[in-house]
Amino acid sequence: MPSLSQILRDHPPLLLIDAASERIQAGLLAEGSEARWSSRREEAGVGVFECLDELDVDIGSIGAFAFCEGPGSILGIRTSAMALRMWNVLRERPLFAYNALALVARALGRPGATLIADARRGLWHRTALGGPFERVPAAGLSGELVTPEGFRHWDPLPAGTTLTPYDLAALLALPAVAGADLFRATPEPDAFLHQEPSYARWVPQIHRAP
């Protein structure tokens, strides 16, 4: 898994899109240049493209794409993924995905901190510095709990959970984050799933009166 620094060295410039939280963020990054960022608090179908307009992005000049694959807003993540797929049809370029909680865990640098985000239906996404990315019930959460600002939750946050900023311009500028192997190449960008969905088989039957 490459680091951000490696991607910027090998495939400049990089267009990064993150629509996992309530605040959509887009950045144009290149090694040796000051990163340019834009953000919006709009729904992803509008906000992502407003950010690109503000950055005046020439998609044809982009050397690689990166996006947040989760956890977070499935609609926002899939909107970003759809745009990346479309642009790569025009010209194929490297695509990279990253996990929001793993990125924040690396930025905090505290082995005892557990990063969480709501996974719905009483379940929570969970990871820690260098640890696995899991989905567990609320009863399985303990210790120091931290969640990024702007990530929606449907159940109340577990008692004692603290918020930490989710500002990519600041997070990715940290050497501990930029140099970490947080990105993975993905030929088909999409939202992260812990497991593939399963569907019940439906057998049609002719209705008959009793």
Q: Is the pLDDT of residue 201 over 60?
A: yes
Q: At what angle do helices 74-90 and 44-55 cross, to 10 degrees?
A: 50
Token digits for 123? Answer: 């379940």
Q: What is the pLDDT at residue 53?
A: 97
**End-to-end Cα spacing for the chain:** 62
Q: Which fold has domain 4-99+172-185?
A: Nucleotidyltransferase; domain 5 (3.30.420)
- Domain(s) labelled CATH 3.30.420.40 in the chain stretch across 4-99+172-185
Q: What is the pLDDT at residue 38?
A: 98
Q: What is the pLDDT at residue 200?
A: 63
Residues paired with residue 25 on neighbouring β-strands, in sequence order: 18, 39
pTM (two decimals): 0.91
> How far are the Cα atoms of 127, 146, 147 from residue 162, in angstroms, in the given order?
15, 5, 6
> pLDDT for 50-81, tens place per residue?
999 999 999 999 999 999 999 999 999 999 99
> pLDDT for 156-180, tens place per residue?
999 999 999 999 999 999 999 999 9
pLDDT > 70: percent of the chain = 95
Q: What is the pLDDT at residue 199?
A: 53
> pLDDT for 19-35, tens place per residue?
999 999 999 999 999 99
What is the spatial distance between Cα 56 and Cα 138, in angstroms, rounded to a whole number? Answer: 43
